[in-house]
Amino acid sequence: MANVAVVGAQWGDEGKGKIVDWLSLGADVVVRFQGGHNAGHTLVIDGVTYKLALLPSGIVRPGKLSVIGNGVVVDPHFLIGEIERLRGQGVAITPENLKVAENAPLILSLHRELDAHREEASGGTKIGTTKRGIGPAYEDKVGRRSIRVVDLAEPGTLDDKIARVLAHHNPLRRGLGLPEVTVASLREELLAVAPKILPFMDAVWSLLDARRRAGDRILFEGAQGVLLDVDHGTYPYVTSSNTVAASAASGSGLGSGAIGYVLGIAKAYTTRVGGGPFPTELLDEIGELIGDRGHEFGTNTGRRRRCGWFDAVLTRQAVKTSGINGLALTKLDILDGFHEIKICTHYMLDGQRIDRLPASQAAQARVQPGYESFPGWQESTSGARSWADLPAQAIKYVRRIEELIEAPVALLSTSPERDDTILVHNPFQD
């Protein structure tokens, strides 16, 4: 049995929540390994909608262990609120089925304030951050001044650690015209959340190693998408963490050899939230129609997503940089009824054909998509659970995507419902 890492193969919002939930039926442990509460997942199970951001999708499944790894930046206030909200929906969340890495960095209120101030003051170069403190928290992690979950268990050492954080932030806040933060106020903030967070704390790397050795199947759940990776994405319009599958190892404490299969998730079209390049974006009624049909609004932010045709160039690039073994294609049903459907097969840059998105920000802004057109299908694919339920043109469309991205489609999702999924290949049986 292979342990499976799930990553978004576009700019996020690909439908990872449903796929992770579907796969969690065959998993024993579900691990979040990067990002924070800036990545929302919507699950629909037996007609009940669950909206998650920080908690792993497996938390709604009885008998599964959910883990928040060290690669995640944890907003303790948000985590407490999300736990209480899901408990209100009847989901059992206890220290027995949820573990938080002791070495995970905390998002503090000063991180949220700094994030919001930067985004609002950035003029014409807005990155599209969710203003939830993710970037500043990762900056402190790299700067070796983070306050981590385990520090909540050592109140006697907090003042020195807080002073180290504020030695960086207070001069920055003065320069931005923000009020300084006192040691006492930050200590009070931390001590207030400690009793509700510490029961979930564990040495996650050791726990996961033991579960792996015992033969448990582990599902690694990524946030955002590969095209938002801080190294391999459309920089600077990216998130603040590595979203590629390799982060499943570093963000959980397990060696890379523990990951047996990488499943990429992609919509049958392309969407993006916030700023940055989007070669296939449709600024017309077709783009509007796709967005309306697909209910393309952010789970957490409510922001409308930009929509466009499927970009095989970028998805193929994600396949390469993340080592994707197979693709889960979602929202095929949103394309039902179109007379013509297009796939971007290449770009043109300054009169030359290219088969990748260049790293240069200026060049990214100049690329033009090259399309291949397909006849659409008029029959409904919504709720299909086998290839036999799909129109012939829909099957041709999926097969052409496989050829262009150089990876097979392992799963095909045809509605938000968990069971409306066509299984081509089970990643856990690789």
Which letter does DSSP use for residue 147 in this model? Answer: -
Check if 41 is active-site. yes
**Which residue is catalytic, options 13, 229, 311, 333?**
13
Q: Indicate the SS3 state at residue 127.
A: coil
**Which residue is catalytic, options 21, 28, 37, 41?**
41
CA 203 to chain centre: 24
- Largest Cα separation within the chain, whole Å, is 68
- Buried/exposed code over 381-408 (b: 16+ C-beta within 10 A; e: otherwise): beebeeeebbbebbeebbebbbebbebe
Identify the CA nearest to 33 among candidates 310, 210, 212, 241: 241
The DSSP H or E segment spanning 392 is helix 392-405
Check if 292 is active-site. no
Category of 61 on φ-ψ map: left (φ > 0), alpha (ψ -120 to 50) or beta:
beta
End-to-end CA distance of the chain: 7
Q: How many C-beta neighbours within 10 Å does residue 211 have?
A: 18
Whole-number Å distance between alpha carbons of 286 and 128: 24
Whole-number Å distance between alpha carbons of 222 and 421: 20
What the block records as the tokens of 267 is 């919509």
What the block records as the tokens of 351 is 């009169």
The DSSP H or E segment spanning 422 is strand 421-423
User: Which residue type is seen at 367?
Assistant: V
Whole-number Å distance between alpha carbons of 217 and 65: 11
Q: Indicate the SS3 state at residue 286.
A: helix
Q: Indicate the SS3 state at residue 427.
A: helix
C-alpha R_g of the chain: 22
The DSSP H or E segment spanning 306 is strand 306-308
Residues labelled catalytic = 13, 41
